[in-house]
Structure 1
Amino acid sequence: MTQNNIIGVQFEEVGKIYYFDASRYPDLKVGDPVVVRTSRGLQLATISQVRIDVDDLEFNSFKSVERPASPRDLLQRKALSIQEEETKEQIRNYFIENNLSAVKVVSAEYSLDGNRLFVLINSESSINYNIKRVHQDIQKMLKDVQLELRQIGPRDAAKLIGGMGACGMETRCCAKFLTEFSSISIRMAKTQDISLTPSEITGMCGRLRCCLMYEYDQYVEAIKSLPKRKRKVLTPMGEGRVVQILPLRQSVIVDIPEIGPRQFTMEDLDRAEKIARGEAVEPLSDEKTKHGGQISRPDDNDGTQTSNKEGDQHSPRKRRGQSSRRSKDN
């Protein structure tokens, strides 16, 4: 029995991976161009994975690779690229002439045989127009091809257009390495204690930044072992109320009556609880005793604080994320 050779291909440099059966061409390797048939017709793709275990995929059947790309296929693709730019300009002029300049032509792509044209457009939700009529008008302009016109959202448009990210990175994440978009919610920003100022959490696409999900799972897991805000806890300096949690450092800031806010690790709180219950605890080391068991006022700038890189990033009066936190994520 012949074992299937399943490969993964991409139609864009940073795009979703699609799977095909290349059993007829066992010598194909990563980076090789191939011709495959999709819902858009014949297309040129680049192999990104080879000999994939079918058990790791959610699919049971795969289309076969048409053929390895020949020099003629590669020349045809280059010629079509030039024609696509001309076609996009034609469509842009159509929108301008019909007072629809707010509609952007994001991309236009011909199938490898040149028989089909796939056009992606994007516009603000406030722009009203009849996309069916637009399709008919453009089809009349381009009589020799079968046209498919599709409107895409701002995140997909930002990925295809590319450019600088809102954080200052030269290339935005979606165009650099994200092959698929994940669902992003405002809850992710709140969980990470990031400022909810729109400029801090909004990407160039006008939607919530994709990077809000990068550390979200770590924060959710770290928070599980910490007391919640406003909860009363026992500390080595007395009872107080939690006013801020610092998940990645496994620490909390506790407001103690007549003393003020102090920072404690979970180790400090657990030790205080054991002492209150009369349990035996190990004596503090000389270093911990010197630094007061790592107890510090969050806004102090003494030598103990400045030597702690993580400690410099937080303050009870300044929410995390008000500086450029994105540079760390990227």
Structure 2
Amino acid sequence: MISVRFRGGCKNYFFDPKGLQVKMGDQVVVETAQGAEFATCTEGNHEVEDSAIVKPLCAVLRMATENDRRTVEYNRKKESEAFDICEKKIADHGLDMKLVNVSASFDGNKIIFYFTADGRVDFRELVRDLASVFRARIELRQIGVRDEAKMIGGLGICGRPFCCSQFLDGFLPVSIKMAKTQNLSLNPTKISGTCGRLMCCLKYEQNAYEDAAKRMPKVESFVQTPDGPGNVKSVDLLRETMKVSLDTAGPNEPLKCYHNCEVCVLRNGKGSRDGIEIPERPARYVEEKEEEEFAAPILTTPFYMDAQLEDAPVREKIGGAEAGEGKSRRRHRGGRRKSGAKPAGEGQQPEKQEKQESRQPAKQGGKQNSPKENQEKKSGQGGKPRPSKAQGPKQPQQTKPEAAEGGESGEAKRRRRPHHRGGRRRNKGGEGGGSAPKSE
């Protein structure tokens, strides 16, 4: 057999392929009680039990051709035109009915109009007018609100398309008792679908709720708990838990929640406690939690830092050099190194020392005098004056090694003053070589 589905329907029908190899998705023309119809295959050649077949069994006429597809498109246009014409005729006759859908047969000899109405409608004159217009067999069918929702389609309160228009073969019987069993609100607006009837999805989990209700006690049942006897006030069927009001509890004490396995039912439902023996308290229910191995997350370097890590020089950490480098970096950030700090040659690497020596002449505008020259200037032994700005800076001398070897005298340290941030260092009276002497 093969399974096919007609347009606008969710139910599958079995047909005899008559030796044809049909695959899922192929379009075929089959023979039905109303004549030839165009259908789509939902399942290819497969075996079916005899009990699932409704006799007499119809056969597949042929595989659909391009001419058949054009005929189907022509019928779709004809249906849309018939819908507009029928609405006008209904308004002309003043009939209290709502047109829902129009369906034309594959051969075009029959047109079916589906409508809804509150009661019976006399549409004999309407049929005569439609027959004179379309020159075909006209049939009007009154349907219910559920069939209307299935044909039109739409979205339910869950946000998904209607179940009846997607996969339901037929409408399932739904009662208000199902809503009570599932502890749902009996507000009609919350348990009704778009069609105005009870939602079809109430039937889906009804069997699970009925099975859980057999194992759970009823409300107001007398039970024995690990904390003592009490009465059941509410039941959660899905979690199989209940809230119990203990006899030993105070008036303002909240209800306690227990699992079904840690409660012993002494009386199921309402009734008297006379003659009921209270057994020992049952053991508490402990959930077994599987220990999961903790997997530490893998930390990766961001892509924008790869180039920075590759270009960064490799520095060796020797003794306290790292601490000294950090200190000098903090001191030089705002301005020049203070007089009490270490010389640039101590605790720094050669590359950094060369950079500092190359920056000092540009900042100072000239060379820095050594301690010997400062002493000679003080005593008046042939000290040379510093060049002015017009002469330009001279080549820096190796003053730092001398300062590191011999050290500076107390008076020379006293003459050295920290420069103002953002400007050149200027000593009072033009001493110490801080700046060029002013010319009058």
Q: TM-score band (shorter)?
A: 0.7 to 0.9
Q: Which has more strand, going by share of residues?
A: 1
Cross-structure match for 1:135: 127
Q: How many Å separate the matches in 2 of 1:22 and 1:215?
A: 38
**Which among 153, 164, 167 is matched to residue 162 of structure 1?**
153
Q: Does 1:240 align with 2:230?
A: yes
The CA deviation at 1:52 is: 3.5
Q: How many Å separate the matches in 1 of 2:92 and 2:173?
A: 37
Q: Secondary structure at the match of 2:164?
A: helix
Gapped regions of structure 2 (runs ≥ 5): 268-276, 290-440
Q: Does 1:267 align with 2:257?
A: no
The 8 Å contact of residues 41 and 116 in structure 1, kept in 2 or not, is answered as no
Distance 1:21 1:237, change over 3 A: same
- After superposition, the CA RMSD in angstroms is 2.7
**Residue by residue, what CA displacement relative to the aligned partner does 1:204-245 show, whole Å, maximum 9, x if unpaired?**
111111111121111111111011122211122222222222
* Residues matched between the structures, number: 275
Q: Secondary structure at the match of 1:90?
A: helix
In the TM superposition, what are the counterparts of 1:173-252 in structure 2 within 5 Å? Answer: 173-252=163-242
Aligned partner letter, 1:189: A
Q: Does 1:98 align with 2:93?
A: yes
The 8 Å contact of residues 14 and 178 in structure 1, kept in 2 or not, is answered as no
Cross-structure match for 1:298: none
Aligned partner letter, 1:158: A
In the TM superposition, what are the counterparts of 1:4-23 in structure 2 within 5 Å? Answer: 6-12=1-7, 14-23=9-18
Q: Secondary structure at the match of 1:155?
A: helix
The CA deviation at 1:168 is: 4.6
Aligned partner letter, 2:255: P
The CA deviation at 1:104 is: 2.2
Aligned partner letter, 2:33: S
The 8 Å contact of residues 84 and 108 in structure 1, kept in 2 or not, is answered as yes
Q: Secondary structure at the match of 1:37?
A: strand
Distance 1:205 1:271, change over 3 A: closer
Q: Secondary structure at the match of 2:245?
A: strand
* Percent of aligned positions that are identical: 32
Q: How many Å separate the matches in 1 of 2:112 and 2:161?
A: 26
In the TM superposition, what are the counterparts of 1:87-126 in structure 2 within 5 Å? Answer: 87-100=82-95, 103-123=97-117, 125=118
Distance 1:283 1:114, change over 3 A: closer
Q: How many Å separate the matches in 1 of 2:18 and 2:287?
A: 67
**Residue by residue, what CA displacement relative to the aligned partner does 1:174-201 show, whole Å, maximum 9, x if unpaired?**
2232232111111111110110111111
The 8 Å contact of residues 236 and 272 in structure 1, kept in 2 or not, is answered as no
Structure showing greater relative contact order (alpha-carbon pairs closer than 8 Å, 6 or more residues apart)? 1
**Which among 135, 138, 142 is matched to residue 147 of structure 1?**
138
The 8 Å contact of residues 240 and 254 in structure 1, kept in 2 or not, is answered as yes
The CA deviation at 1:261 is: 2.3
- State the TM-score, normalizing by the size of structure 1: 0.75
Distance 1:160 1:271, change over 3 A: closer
Q: Secondary structure at the match of 1:73?
A: helix
**Which among 63, 70, 76 is matched to residue 81 of structure 1?**
76
Q: How many Å separate the matches in 1 of 2:32 and 2:94?
A: 34
